[in-house]
Structure 1
């Protein structure tokens, strides 16, 4: 019984070896999707730059007027968000 199972396994793996390794092919409309991703990445980077600039201006205003200092959290949040947003592609390439 064990020999029969081993023999069946060997025949199955031999059949899989004959199938081959298929080459990857881009799906239809993949260029449009990649263009949309590039636009989205550009928008995220622009949003991060605007957020850091706004938080820096607010930080200066709070320092000058002596108000509550909430802008350092905004600067840190914008920087962490930018790191996460821009590293998403790198993480996915490492996973694949």
Structure 2
């Protein structure tokens, strides 16, 4: 019985063949969307750091202390966004 099951399994596996890799449907449009998101993240990070720097300079004369935290958060967000893009590129690949 085991010999018959083994022979049947071997013949089924031999008929399956070796599948080839294909790109998924709409992969080019998804990569275009990811590139747009990457640009959006970069531009929003630059805007946040610029705004935080301007507020930092404004607070020099008026007091307050929220801008160093704002600049640090913008830099941390940029680091997370940058590492997310690197991980995405290594997983998806070009």
TM-score for both structures, normalised by structure 2: 0.74
1:14-73 deviations in Å (ceiling 9; x for gaps) = x758856533211111111111110111011000000000000000000122x2111000
Equivalent position to 2:80, from 65, 80, 84: 84
Structure 1 spans left out of the alignment, 5+ residues:
none
SS at match of 1:27: coil
- Whether the aligned pair in 2 keeps the contact of 1:63 and 1:69 (CA below 8 Å) is no
- Whether the aligned pair in 2 keeps the contact of 1:55 and 1:71 (CA below 8 Å) is yes
Give the count of matched residue pairs.
Answer: 92
1:28 and 2:25 equivalent? yes
CA distance, structure 2, for counterparts of residue 17 and residue 74 of structure 1: 62
RMSD: 2.7
